[in-house]
Structure 1
C-alpha cells in the first residue's frame, strides 16, 4: 500500500482529504477462492449519510471492517490498496486508534455489550482509553440518545431497541467522526427500527457525524439516506444519490434487491414510462404522485367489496375441533437479581388449530420468543396450564415434546452442532433410532436445495443458506407444530422470497406453523392469522387483512404496516392492499382500466 500512500502525501496535507477515501483496495480471506473485495474505489465527504446495499455475501461488511482496522488486524487476509479514514492512513493504525474515529455497531449488537448497566457500558470505552472525563463523555452520549432515564438499568432488563441504543452510546462516548451501523433494523420491531434511524439522522444533522449503514431494507434507505453505494460480488457497482439509486428498479431487482414497495407500485402503474425515470421512493412522494393522477372522489366501493369477499383470508378455526396447542390462563416470569418476579407473559388464553399459519407480532420484549419456548417445553408456565398435542407441558420433558414440535432459533448458528449440514439434519432421526432414514434426509435436502451444501459446516454458510439449513433440521424432525423465531431477519430480498416460498411448502408437512416476526411484509404475504402481543398479553387475534385497520393496536405494539398498505390508506383505499400487484390492479381500475370481481381477486394474490 506504500505507493498509494506516498502519492497521496505528495498531493497535500491529509486534513484536506475527504473523511473516507479508498483507492484500489483488494482483500481476500485465507483459503478463499475469490476476492472478498476487488478494485474498490470510494470517496465519502464529511457529514454524508451513506447506505451500502447489496445481497448477502456481496462484501458490504468486509468493506466496513476495513475502515476501523478489524481487517486486517483481527480478520486476517491479503489486503492491498490505499485506505484513509478521518485523516489517518489505515495501514499505520491499530483497531484501537481507528476506533476513536470510527464507531462500529455490529449486527449482533448484544455481543458488544460487556458491562452490567447502561451507564457502565457508556463509560467503558472512554475509561479504557484513559480519558479523565470518561463520566462526562458517558453522560453526554446517553443524553444525545435520550437514555438518561435508563442509565441505572441492568443490560439484561432492556428491550432489543434499548440494547441497540446502548451499544451506540458506548461507541458514541468516544466522540467519533464516523458511525457505522451494520443492519440497524435486523433484530428490531418496526417502531424501534424507526427510532434507531431517527437517532442516526439527529447525529448526522445536529452533530455533523458521518453515518454509514449496511441495509437491506430500501424503505429506510429512501427515508433517511442521501447516497447509495451498491455492491456486487466484492465490487462497487456504482455510487448514486438516493433518488436515482432506488429508481434503478430493474437493475436492483436483477441483483435481488427489493426497491421500496411504493416505487414498485409506481413502476407497475406508470402508463408512459420514460427511458430512465426518477420514481417516487417514499410514501409522501407516492401520495402526491397518485393524488395528481387519480380522479377526484373516486367510487371504488365495488372493487373493495370484491377484495373483502374474495381475497381476505379467514382464521380456519373449527368450533368443535380439538386444538393442537391450548393456553389456559398461562403466566410466566423469572426472578430478578433482587429476587422479585419479573413477569413476561400474563394470563394467556389461546388455542392453536390445524391449518393455522400464525404470525406472532409485537414490539421487542412483548413475550413472543417466550411464548414459543413455552410451546416447545424449553420453558414451563409459572401459572396456568399449557397442552401441546395432548401433553401437559408441566409434566412432559422437552425431549418428549420434540416428537411433536420443532423450534427454529432466531440465531441460526445455534442450530448447528455437527460439522456438516447433513449430519445436523440427520441428528434427530439418529437419536431416535429411526430406521432407514437416509432416503428421507435426501428428500429434505433436495426439497430445500441443500444437496450441494450437505457436506459443508452450517456455521460457515451464508445467512440465507443457514436459514434453509435450519428449516431442513426442523422438517427432518417431522413435527406436528413448527415454531420459527425471526426467520427472515438479516436476509436480502432474494433470501426473504426463498424463505416465504419455503414456509408455503410447509403446508401438508406440518399441521400448524407459528412465526415470531417483525417482518410485516411476511405477515401480509404468508399468515392467515395474526396474534399481536403487548406487555406479555394478547392484544389482538385477527387475520392479516383486518390487522392494518386496527391503528390503535398497531401503535400500541410498535408495529408499522407495509408501505403498500400505508399508501393504500393514505389514498383512502380500504381495506388496504397487501401486495404491489393488488394495489396496481386497483389503481388501473380507478383510472378506467376496469376489472371483473374475479379478475380483481386473482390479481390481488401477487406477492411483491
Structure 2
C-alpha cells in the first residue's frame, strides 16, 4: 500500500460575505505517485479545493473554515503557507505573476534562496534541466515565449523539490505542441521522480492520455474519485454537468446508445480506430473547396490590405529582433478569419499592426482605404476593435451597462443608449447589465468585452485568444457568440490555438510560423496537411485525425458530422463489442 501524501477530512469553507460554502464537507485522499485531474464546471470549487492543499486556505484567504488538511503527514493547522510550500509546489493559472526576477536563472533560484538553502543554485540548475530551460538560463524573462514562461513557473516550483505538484490549467494559452510538451514533462516527473501530480484541467484529451485518476467536483462537493477510463466513460453524467469527455469517447457513446450503462469507451484515436472499423482502409483524399468558392470571395470588398510588412523590435543589446517578415495579406468583407500558429509565430503582432497599436518597420497597412502606419490608435477606434486576451483589461466602470456605454460616450454618439440596449440583447447580457463586469465568470466577461467592441460597429474586430482559460462548455457557447458578431461587424479575425474553434467557426485559416504566413486556405486544405500543422506547432483534433484514418469523405470537425459519416459507411454498422476495453 502506498502512503497517503495528502488528505482532506470534512473540509468546509465559506468566503466572506457568501451565502453558501464554496466547499462543503469535502473528504479526499491522494497517495504517493498519483497523477490526478480535478474536473468540474465553472464555480464547482476546483481552484478553492486545491488552495486547501498548501494552506492558502485558510491561512491566506480569509473565511469560515472547518475540517482538516494533512499534507505529507503534517496538519495544515498552525503551519504557515511557507512551511507547507516545502512539500507542495503550486503553478497558478495566471503563472506570469509567479515570475518575479529579471532573468531565468535569477527567477528559478528565487524561492530556494529566500528559504536559505545553501544549494539554491544547484536546485535551480536541476529544475531548469528537468523543464528543458538550461540553455535559456541567462535570458531575460520578457524575451521568453508564453510556453517558456509557463515552464519557468513550473521550474520555480520544482526548485523547492516538493513531493506534490499542483498545476492549475497546465496548457492554457499554449499551442498544441507546447501543451503536449508540458504534459510530457509532468509524466516524466511522475514516473521517473515519483512526484504526485494534481492538475485542474478542462481538456479531456490530456486527462485521458496522462492522468490515472479523476476527481469530479460538483457544487462544492466531491461527487466521485475514479480511475481515468471509468471517469471519462461516465459520459451521461459528465455531459449533464457541462463537462465534455474526449471526442472519441463521445463518438462511441453516441453511436452505441443501447450499450451505455456501465460501458467503458475508447479514450484516444488509436482505440477509436479499432472501435469504429473492422479493418484498415485506404485513406480517401479530402474534398477541397473549389476555385469557384475562392472567386466569389475575391469579388468581395477589401477591408484590410498589408503589403510587404515587416516589424522588428530593438532589444536591450540594441540589436533588431525581427517579428514579422514580409507579410502580404488581403482581408475581405464577410470573412471569418482564424490566425493559427505556435507561440511566438507573430499572430498578435500582426493584429496589433492592423489596429494601429504598433507601427511597421517597413511596408504599408491599409484598413478601409486608410493608411494605418503611424496613425494614432484612437483615430481607428471606430473602424477597428481589438479585444484583449484578458477581458478584464478592458473594464474601467462599475457595471456592464456603463462599460458598453463608455466608449460610445467618449465618441459623443447620439444613439448611445439605443446601441447599449442592442448589445445587451445581442450578447445576452440584459440580466447582468447592472453587475460589475470584473465579478462575472470568464465566459460572461468575454461576452462583455465583445459587446464593448461591437457597440462601436467597427469594420474589423480582432480577438486575441477568445477562448483562453474557458471551460469546454463555455468555449462552445463562445462559438455562438462569435456567430452573433457576423451580423455586427464586416470582418472578424481571431488569433487562437483552439483547433476545435477554428474548425467549427472559420471560413478562412491563415497559418503563421516564425513571422511569416506559410499557408492560407480552407479548413479541409489546412487540416489535411499534417506536415504543415507539425511545422507550425499545431495538430489535428482527434476527430480530424480519425476522419482520415477511417477514410471518411472529408475531414470532420464536429461530433455530429463525424458520427453521421461513420454510420453511413457502406461496410456496415459500428462493431458492437470493440469498445469494451479494460480499465
Place the TM-score, normalised by the shorter chain, in its bin: over 0.9
Task: Determine if contact 1:425/1:472 at 8 Å carries over to the other structure.
Answer: yes
Give the 3 Å change call, closer, same or farther, for CA 235–341 of structure 1 in structure 2.
same
Say if 1:402 and 1:131 are closer, same or farther in 2 by CA, change over 3 A: same
Asked if the contact 2:338/2:506 (under 8 Å) is kept, the reply is yes
Matches of 1:315 and 1:164, distance apart in 2: 40
Contact 1:315/1:356 (8 A) holds in 2: no
2:174 is the alignment partner of 1:188:
yes
**Alignment equivalent of 2:503, drawn from 521, 524, 530:** 524
Cα deviation for residue 396 of structure 1 reads 2.3
Q: Are 1:325 and 2:320 an aligned pair?
A: no
Q: CA deviation at 1:436?
A: 3.4
Q: What residue number does 1:425 align with?
A: 404
Taking structure 2 as the reference length, what is the TM-score of the superposition? 0.95
Partner of 2:350: 371
Number of residue equivalences? 573
Q: Superposition pairs for residues 98-177 of structure 1, below 5 Å? A: 98-177=84-163
* Pair 1:339-2:318 in alignment: yes
Runs of 4+ residues deviating >3 angstroms: 293-298, 307-310, 312-322, 572-575, 591-594
Where 1:144 maps in the other structure, the secondary structure is helix
Structure-2 separation of matches of 1:314 and 1:53? 42
In the TM superposition, what is the alpha-carbon distance from 1:153 to its structure 2 partner?
1.3
Aligned 8 A contact 1:409 1:415 in 2: yes
**In 2: Cα distance, 1:263 partner to 1:577 partner:** 15
Report what 1:360 is aligned to.
339
1:294 partnered with 2:278: yes
Match of 1:252 among 232, 238, 248: 238
Q: 1:601 maps to which residue?
A: none
Q: CA deviation at 1:591?
A: 4.9
- How many angstroms does 1:514 deviate by? 0.2
1:239 counterpart (225, 239, 244) = 225
Give the match's secondary structure for 2:21: coil
Shift of 1:458: 1.2
CA offset digits 1:374-413 (Å, max 9, x no partner) = 1111111111000011111125221111111111100111
Q: Secondary structure at the match of 2:327?
A: strand
Q: Is contact 2:177–2:539 with CA below 8 Å preserved after alignment?
A: yes
Q: Which residue of 2 aligns with 1:568?
A: 547
- Alpha-carbon distance in 2 for matches of 1:75, 1:244: 34
For 1:505, the equivalent position in structure 2 comes to: 484
C-alpha contact 2:39 2:217 (8 A) present in aligned 1: yes
- Give the corresponding residue for 2:445: 466
Specify the SS of the correspondent of 2:311. strand
Query: What per-residue deviation string (whole Å, max 9, x for no partner) do you get for residues 528-575 of structure 1?
Result: 100011001101111112111121211111101111001222334353
| Alpha carbons of structure 1 residues 274 and 60: separation in structure 2 relative to 1, 3 Å | closer
Q: Does the Cα contact within 8 Å between 1:405 and 1:483 map onto a contact in 2? A: yes
Distance 2:424 2:109 in 1: 49
Q: Measure the CA separation in 1 of the matches of 2:532 and 2:560.
A: 27
Structure 1: gaps of 5 or more residues: 1-14, 595-608
Deviation of 1:369 (Å): 0.8
Give 1:487 deviation, angstroms.
0.6
CA distance, structure 2, for counterparts of residue 16 and residue 410 of structure 1:
43
Aligned to 1:29: 15
CA distance in 1, matches of 2:135, 2:411: 51
- Equivalent residue number for residue 404 of structure 1: 383
Structure 2: how far apart are the matches of 1:309 and 1:117? 48
More displaced stretch, 408-417 vs 447-456: 447-456
Higher mean C-alpha displacement, 87-96 vs 44-53: 87-96
* 1:316–1:356 CA contact under 8 A, matched in 2: no
Find the aligned partners of 2:296 and 2:485 in 1 and give their Cα distance: 19
Give the secondary structure class of the aligned counterpart of 1:366.
Answer: coil
Distance 1:537 1:348 in 2: 6
Matching residue of 1:587: 566
Alignment-derived partner of residue 50 in structure 1: 36
2:537 equivalent in structure 1: 558
Q: What's the RMSD between the two structures over aligned residues? A: 2.0
Contact 1:314 1:528 in 2 (8 A): no
SS in 1 for 2:373: helix
In structure 2, the CA distance between the partners of 1:508 and 1:130, relative to structure 1 (3 Å rule), is same
Q: 1:365 to 1:313 in 2, by over 3 A?
A: farther
Cα deviation code 1:325-356 (max 9, x no counterpart): 11111111211111111111111000000011
Cα distance in 2 for partners of 1:180, 1:531 equals 36
Q: 1:66 aligns with which of 49, 52, 55?
A: 52
User: 2:415 pairs with 436, 445, 449, which one?
Assistant: 436
- Give the CA deviation at 1:274: 4.3
Q: How far apart, in 2, do the equivalents of 1:370 and 1:555 lie?
A: 22
SS in 2 for 1:506: helix
Distance change >3 Å, CA 395–CA 334, structure 1 → 2:
closer
Q: How does 1:267-306 map to 2 (within 5 A)?
A: 267-270=253-256, 272-290=258-276, 293-294=277-278, 297=281
Mapped to 2, the partners of 1:403 and 1:28 lie a distance apart of 45
Q: Quote the residue 2:576 is aligned against.
A: none
In structure 1, the residue matched to 2:251 is: 265
1:40-87 CA deviation, whole Å, 9 max, x = no partner? 111111110000001111111111111112222222111111110112
Deviation at 1:493, TM superposition (A): 2.0
- Alpha carbons of structure 1 residues 243 and 313: separation in structure 2 relative to 1, 3 Å: farther
Structure 2 stretches lacking a partner, 5+ long? 574-583
Superposed displacement of residue 508, structure 1: 2.2
